[in-house]
Structure 1
Amino acid sequence: MFPGMPKLALFPRMRFTRQVLLLQIGVVVLVVGLGVALVAWLLRTTLTEQYGERALAIAKSVAADPVVIAGAAARQQGGPLQTRAQAVTKANEVLFVVITDDQGIRLAHPDPGSIGDRVSTSAKEALSGQDVVSAVQEGTLGLSVRSKTPIEQGDRVVGEVSVGFTVTELTGDVNRLIELTSLFAGGALLLGAGASALLNRRLRRVTHGLEPQELTELLYEREAVLHGIGEGVLALDAQQRVTVRNDEAERLLGTALPVGTPLAELDLSPRLQMAVAEGVPVDNLLAVAGNRVLVINSRAVRREERPLGTVLTFRDRTDLDTLTRELDGIRSLSDGLRAQRHEFANRLHTLSGLLQLGHHAEAEEYLQTLTETTGARAEPPGDQIADPYLRALLAAKSEQAQEKGMELRLADDSWVPAAVTDPVAAGTVIGNLVDNALHAARLGPRRPAAVEIGLLADGDTLHVSVVDSGPGVPEPLREKLFDEGVSTKLAPGHGLGLALARQAARAHDGEVWLADPGGGASGALFVAKLPGLLSTLEVP
């Protein structure tokens, strides 16, 4: 390789799917080859044993012949023994039948010239009275599979018979069996290679032709994108099971989102559940999760007209809603100040005109009237409420009610001597209940429009009751009044106040409910129970 030249220039990297295919084919070839070798060995061993057993059976039949026993005992060379040996050799198509005396001297042999010589292979075991089976030995007639058995006359061994088959015959049988086995092995090899090719094709289709390193990079990119953005992401499969989610989604929804869990089993907003169940794209849907207001967008994912699932994104709109409410309050205050400025200017002009015309008595009477009118301001809560947060909240709501020509009263039996431990939760519950009551009272037929709020401490539990002079809650809305998006207001973006109030109460193991829908002699009555929201010590 030349210096500085990259290795891939000369040896391009092979695709992973091709590597898998070659590896699978190699494994199949190796397994088939080992299988054929094992079968060949087993076949050769089995055939060798079979030829040995056959040779032993022939040898025993010869050794049991009385003529052979008598000839071996008399050590007669040739003659009847040679005739018998040649007849058995021809009849059984064996390589040789050799008969010896008790000293290993040949009495019968296929080669008459070898009669009288000592056998070329050991006859010790046979002459000691033992059978020799399947011995592959090299003799004067060549390599053969032979078996030997003793010739016994009474209790005395008088000789031995040796019968052998040529190895060439054994090898031919083995080769024929191996050829047949090889045909099956070849078919198995082709089948394995075809299955490997199909598996390789399936792998390419499942991975869309991507290499492992590309899949790894996609995984890293997905994790970086999921956990690097400021929005919550939740992906569901076609059966609405969680497949992908990031930490921001779990934080915003306030619950764990284990992968593989059906969406219906998760404690999520009913609005979110309905948005996914309908299967249609959703844009900027407002939903409540804990004390948060979330903006939800969902999109159905399809590939080749096959539904793959749904992807949802979440944005936290709680801070935006807080700023919006503060801006509305500032705008209302600005409008009020502007109106007061115009009114004050008009009064000054009137007073200036009276003084210029010399009507001093009328001017003094006019000033007295202005003083009395200006003093009719909203009264702050008395000593019934000790907590500064509650006092400030009630004072602000009283000012707001007075600006709209309504009255916000504190019930006579209200009594909260302790401090609030969670001002945000108290403000969420009380503020939303009072805002809804003021809206209902303003739309109601009764005048003057009024709202009465009752606050009562019971240990560390704060009880809240809010009743208005409005028309009451309509029958169709009573069962679903606390659901997200349910509101009597016509403008969009409403229907979250009561849901937020209930979520904040339940976060403290409390509850908010409609105690009396009203409609006849009075308006609706809402009640809240907030355990653990008060300190056990009184405010000094």
Structure 2
Amino acid sequence: MVAITSRSRSLAGQLLVLQLAIIVVVLVAVAAVSLAQSAATFNRVEGRRVAALGEQLAGNPLLRDRLTRPAPRETIAPLVQNALTQAGVTSVTVADGRGRVVSSTNPTLVGSPVVLGDPRVAQGRSWSGELETNGSRELVAQVPVLGAREENLGRQLGVVVIGEASPTWSERLVGASSYLFTYLGIASALGVIGSWLLTRRIKRQTLGLEPREIAGLAEHREALLHGIAEGVIALDPQQRVTLINVVGRRLLDLPEHCLGRSLAELRISGRLRDVLAGAGSGPEARDQVVVRGGRVLVMNRMTVDKAGRRLGSVTTLRDRTELARLEQEIGSFRSTTELLRAQTHEFANQLHTISGLIQIGEHDEVVRYVDALSRHRASLDLTVTSRIHDTAVAALLMAKSAVAAERRVELRISERTGLGRLAPDVAADIATVLGNLVDNAVEAVAGGRDGSPGTTANTTGDAWVEVELRQDASSVEIVVRDSGPGVAPELAQEVFTHGFTTKAAEGGERGIGLALTRLVCTRRGGEIAVTNTGEGAMFTARMSVPHEREEAR
């Protein structure tokens, strides 16, 4: 029942109880310190007073004279009573030189040995301090009585003991209770007011949620973040990481303790930093392609605002690497379809030409036309197969040649081309890189011939794409040149990171073909780069293929 009550208590009630408890503890501590200081003050002030009274009584000539006579009790009692009345102390006691009490305000002590606080008092030294006598504790001053006459000069005649009863703790507390209760009431009122103001402030900062509701939200958030398959990362306005789930940390290759650290501290730069920070993309960024740690990531960023105040941003990440590879496989089927469609179109045109020649009776011209087509096809086949011995790569170039011809682009094979047979996995990677580069080059050249906005192609010459493949003992180099508009210098270093094609010259983003191309080259221990020639762009890709040539043989 107690646990249920404590859980159901509101935040204001918890703060009030806590502050009142703190106030009570502080007041008790202050009271204890005050009482301790009061005791120290009493001992200091009253100690000086009883010491002075003892010295005054011990220096009384009448007391000295009567201590040297027989039966001093009757003669000293008036002096003791007079000192008690005038000084207002608790007790006055006089002992003779043998240490026996001869007179005291407490008659029960007469005749008994005097209790000394310090043995040196019997040797003529004064002493003051607390001493317990007859069950009560007193602040006592013990002063020796020294002879002043010639016959007893300097001899100790006795001891004067002046006592002042020390007040108990309860008496001191009762004496201070009037202002302690006042302080407690004032402190309680201030605690209630302060608790109410603090509660209002905390309520505003926590959007009116109680602690158990905040804890529930935190638990739900953790379950949600770690239960989704996508990566999530949140940044504050200073670009510090405020939230990230396990998937996001894995995709971005961040350390385990990255919360609270800025993008600069995490060494995130380039395209990834621009997307996360929203540089140049406005409050929202949709389907931004970024390459990070060998992965193709698709990122969506949204800025978070509250009441016109920027709170930061949240970015989701999806790993599209496998999807990109599947897209390339689908692209190969699409290329085959395009090849068949282009060949169908080409064959249809040739048949129409042959049919027209027959209809007008030019039979000899039909023979010459068919011979020319046969020689052209044989020449192309011979050019490709004589220089490229790997059937997969050769077939790819034959297909790309037909597609390029349909778009009025000439696909050339460089005279320096030479490629032997390759292992199947190596041939597949080379076909992926070569196919992407040729597609981008044909797209760029065809766009320039069509007069697309923003292109600067040389329209006075023919549209062409040239492929050069070179192979040595440990690597394969692919060079694709074109007569297109080229790549803008500012994009030359970022074109692969952004996932642009050569259409980037027109300002448009075209998927992840070049990003995947770079991944394949990197995985094969190579690299890819782009430069502008006098006539267009030149992409150079290099991949390491150790010992695979020999295995293929």
* Aligned residue in 2 for 1:223: 222
Alignment of 1:364-443 (within 5 A): 366=366, 370=370, 373=373, 376-377=376-377, 378-379=380-381, 381-382=384-385, 384-417=387-420, 419=422, 426-442=430-446, 443=449
Q: Deviations over 1:149-193 (max 9, x none)?
A: 443446765433222335569987775566566666666666566
| 1:466 and 2:480 are equivalent in the alignment | yes
Gaps (5+ residues) in structure 2?
A: 450-457
- Three-state SS of the structure 2 residue aligned to 1:210 is coil
Q: Does 1:450 align with 2:453?
A: no
Q: Name the CA shift for 1:369/1:100 in 2 (closer, same or farther; >3 Å).
A: closer
- 1:193-248 Cα offsets, whole Å, 9 max, x none, are 65555554444443334344433332332233323334332221111222222344
Q: How does 1:142-291 map to 2 (within 5 A)?
A: 145-153=139-147, 157-166=156-165, 176=175, 198-250=197-249, 252-253=251-252, 258-263=258-263, 265-267=267-269, 269=271, 272-273=274-275, 276-278=278-280, 280-290=282-292
Distance, in Å, in 2 between the alignment partners of 1:239 and 1:227 is 25
Contact 2:283/2:303 (<8 A) preserved? yes
- SS for the counterpart of 2:163 is strand
Aligned equivalents of 2:228 and 2:374: distance in 1? 54
Q: Structure 1's 447 and 350: CA in aligned 2 closer, same or farther, altered over 3 A? A: same
Structure 1 372/308 Cα, relative in aligned 2: closer, same or farther at 3 Å? same
Match of 1:32 in 2: 27
The equivalent residue for 1:296 is 299
Match of 2:381, SS state, is: coil
| Cα 1:190–1:457 shift into 2, 3 Å | farther
Shift of the alpha carbon at 1:74?
1.5
SS in 2 for 1:269: helix
Residue type matched to 1:135 in 2?
A: L
Give the aligned residue type for 1:525: M
Partners of 1:273 and 1:462 in 2: how far apart? 34
Distance 2:311 2:216 in 1: 22
SS at the partner of 1:435?
Answer: helix
Q: 2:227, 2:169 → 1: CA distance?
A: 76
Q: Which deviations, in whole Å up to 9, do the C-alpha atoms of 1:316-368 show, x marking residues without a partner?
A: 556365377457535524533553675587589789x98xx9x9x95x98578
Change in CA separation of 1:169 and 1:80 when aligned onto 2, cut-off 3 Å: farther
Task: Please give the alpha-carbon distance, in whole angstroms, between the structure 1 residues aligned to 2:93 and 2:422.
Answer: 122
Q: What are the ranges of 5 or more consecutive residues in structure 1 without an aligned counterpart?
A: none
Q: Which of 286, 308, 313 is matched with 1:310 structurally?
A: 313
Hey, what's the Cα distance between the residues in 1 that align with 2:161 and 2:459? 130
User: 92, 101, 110: which one pairs with 2:87?
Assistant: 92
From 108, 115, 125, the equivalent of 2:116 is: 125
Report how many aligned residue pairs link the two structures: 516
How many angstroms apart in 2 are the aligned matches of 1:12 and 1:374? 91
Matched, 1:527 2:527: no
Residue identity matched to 2:214: L
Superposed counterparts of 1:53-72, under 5 Å: 53-72=48-67
2-side partners of 1:39 and 1:491: how far apart? 81
Answer whether contact 1:43 1:177 (CA < 8 A) is retained. no
Q: Shift of the alpha carbon at 1:123?
A: 1.2
SS of equivalent residue, structure 1 residue 217: helix
The residue type equivalent to 2:32 in the other structure is A
Per the alignment, residue 479 of structure 1 pairs with: 490
Q: SS state of the match for residue 490, structure 2? A: coil
Secondary structure at the counterpart of residue 287 of structure 1: strand
Task: Report if aligned partners of 2:343, 2:402 keep a CA contact under 8 Å in 1.
Answer: no
Cα distance, 1:297–1:495 mapped onto 2, change above 3 Å:
closer
1:43 and 2:54 matched: no
Shift in Å at residue 68 of structure 1? 1.4
TM-score between both structures, scaled by the size of structure 1: 0.76
| Alpha-carbon spacing, 1:426–1:36, altered in 2? closer, same or farther (3 Å) | farther
| CA separation of 1:307 and 1:279: change in aligned 2, threshold 3 A | farther
Shift of 1:309: 0.6
Equivalent pair of 1:455/1:463 in contact (CA under 8 Å): yes
Are residues 397 and 65 of structure 1, via their aligned partners in 2, closer, same or farther at CA, if it must alter by over 3 Å?
Answer: same
Cα distance in 2 for residues equivalent to 1:395 and 1:121: 134
SS state at 2:416 partner: coil
Name the SS for the 2:56 alignment partner: helix
Distance 1:92 1:172, change over 3 A: farther
Give the fraction of aligned pairs with identical amino acids, expressed as a percent.
27
